[in-house]
Amino acid sequence: MAQILDGKSLAQQIQAQLREKIQTLEPQLGRPPGLAVLMVGDNPASAAYVRNKERACDRVGIASFGQHLPTSISQTELTQIIHQLNRDERIDGILVQLPLPDHLDDVALLTEIAPHKDADGLHPTNLGHLVRKEVGLRSCTPAGIMRLLQAYEIDPAGQQAVVLGRSILVGKPMALMLLEADATVTIAHSRSQDLASLTQAADILVVAIGRPGLITPDMVKPGSTIIDVGINRITDDHGQSQLVGDVQYDQVAPLVEAITPVPGGVGPMTVAMLLQNTVWSYCRQHNLLEAFSA
């Protein structure tokens, strides 16, 4: 069987390290780091994600300034809230929980977040830093994946990496981070021809499509590393629901070298990187990035 890349355990280690840093810095700076998560509407999955993030903040000592806003909120009203948070000195990180209701322009809203408070690493300025290999806030899910690979000593250098999905949230920044780590990167998507031939060539396969069981055993290279970003809730014939990934885990795991489980793989690492980005911004605001790196 494959080595299981345990994101839950690694995320707990990262949170413990962040908690220690905050306990050291807060007495010096007079306040804890602050994170504001903005959630619009009543999407059950989004509500669960936000609760998870708030609990994680509590565990490490980050102050939460979250707001649950009505579905009817306008683009102008939400923009004004973001501008207020940009000016609030207690807040180091701002995150707009996606997806948003259809009448709201998420791309426009993300650009309103001050780049130094962009906890999700999705502002054009921060994506530009990534392209240029400059220091900056990194997109949480891809950054979490890179940290997971590092922890398990899986070096992308010289490897063939295939990323399924081209979203700004995962696919595109993931490809850039793998490229930065000296992998040879292919991005595949819904219009790619002969998908199986691409995935079969991958030493590292990152799947971020959102389609349960998309990747079957015949689509993977034996001995490869499989990173499953998909989180899909399905219901069986008995009415029981469960979370599954985009990879047929039980069938694929015996064939590969390493694989992330769902749940417990990429998801916890995404939250850990959100907290890390917030603490990094906190240290940067106080000219203490050396303390963050220590």
Nearest to 246 by CA among 226, 266, 229: 229
Q: What share of the chain is helix, strand, coil (3-state, %, to 5)?
A: 45, 15, 40
Name residue, tokens 């891809």: 142
If asked whether residues 168 and 99 sit together in one domain, one would say: no
If asked whether residues 196 and 251 sit together in one domain, one would say: yes
231 is known to lie in a ligand binding site: yes
166 is known to lie in a ligand binding site: yes
Question: Is residue 277 included in any domain, yes or no?
Answer: no
Q: What pLDDT does 294 receive?
A: 60
Q: Is the dihedral of CA 43, 110, 80, 35 positive or negative?
A: positive
Host H or E run for residue 186: strand 184-188
Q: Is 245 exposed, middle or buried (0-12, 13-18, 19+ CB in 10 A)?
A: buried
Q: Does residue 262 contact residue 180 with C-beta atoms inside 8 Å?
A: no
Tokens, residue 277 = 């980005």
If you average pLDDT over every residue of the chain, what do you get?
A: 94
165 is known to lie in a ligand binding site: yes
pTM of the model: 0.94
Task: Give the CATH number for residue 193.
Answer: 3.40.50.720
More confident residue, 276 or 293: 276
Region 8-13 average pLDDT: 97
Q: Would the pLDDT of 89 be above 90? A: yes
Q: What is the pLDDT of residues 222-257, one digit of tens each?
A: 999 999 999 888 887 788 888 899 999 999 999 999
If asked whether residues 222 and 168 sit together in one domain, one would say: yes
Host H or E run for residue 34: strand 34-40
Q: Would you place residue 45 in the very low, low, confident or very high pLDDT band (cuts 50, 70, 90)? A: confident
Q: What pLDDT does 286 receive?
A: 87
93 is known to lie in a ligand binding site: no
Question: Is residue 13 included in any domain, yes or no?
Answer: no
Q: What is the pLDDT of residues 162-197, one digit of tens each?
A: 999 999 999 999 999 999 999 999 999 989 999 999
If asked whether residues 236 and 145 sit together in one domain, one would say: yes
Q: What pLDDT does 127 receive?
A: 95
For residue 84, give its domain range: 29-115
- The Cα–Cα gap between 283 and 21 comes to 10
Provide, rounded to the nearest whole percent, the portion of the chain with pLDDT above 90. Answer: 85
**Residue 284 carries which side chain, given as an amino acid letter?**
R
Tokens, residue 288 = 């203490």
If asked whether residues 146 and 263 sit together in one domain, one would say: yes
Q: Would you place residue 10 in the very low, low, confident or very high pLDDT band (cuts 50, 70, 90)? A: very high
Name residue, tokens 């707990």: 12
If asked whether residues 100 and 166 sit together in one domain, one would say: no
Reduced to 3 states (helix: H, G, I; strand: E, B; else coil), residue 243 is strand
What's the total number of domains in the chain? 2
If asked whether residues 251 and 180 sit together in one domain, one would say: yes
Region 77-96 average pLDDT: 97
Start-to-end Cα distance in the chain: 37
Q: What pLDDT does 88 receive?
A: 97
If asked whether residues 145 and 109 sit together in one domain, one would say: no
If asked whether residues 148 and 258 sit together in one domain, one would say: yes
Question: Is residue 292 included in any domain, yes or no?
Answer: no
- The Cα–Cα gap between 97 and 72 comes to 16
Q: What is the pLDDT of residues 113-156, one digit of tens each?
A: 999 999 999 999 999 999 999 999 999 999 999 999 999 999 99
Question: Is residue 24 included in any domain, yes or no?
Answer: no
Task: Give the CATH number for residue 69.
Answer: 3.40.50.10860
Provide, rounded to the nearest whole percent, the portion of the chain with pLDDT above 70. Answer: 100
Q: What pLDDT does 282 receive?
A: 96
- The Cα–Cα gap between 274 and 119 comes to 6
If asked whether residues 94 and 190 sit together in one domain, one would say: no
Reduced to 3 states (helix: H, G, I; strand: E, B; else coil), residue 95 is strand
| Catalytic positions, written as ranges | 53, 97, 120
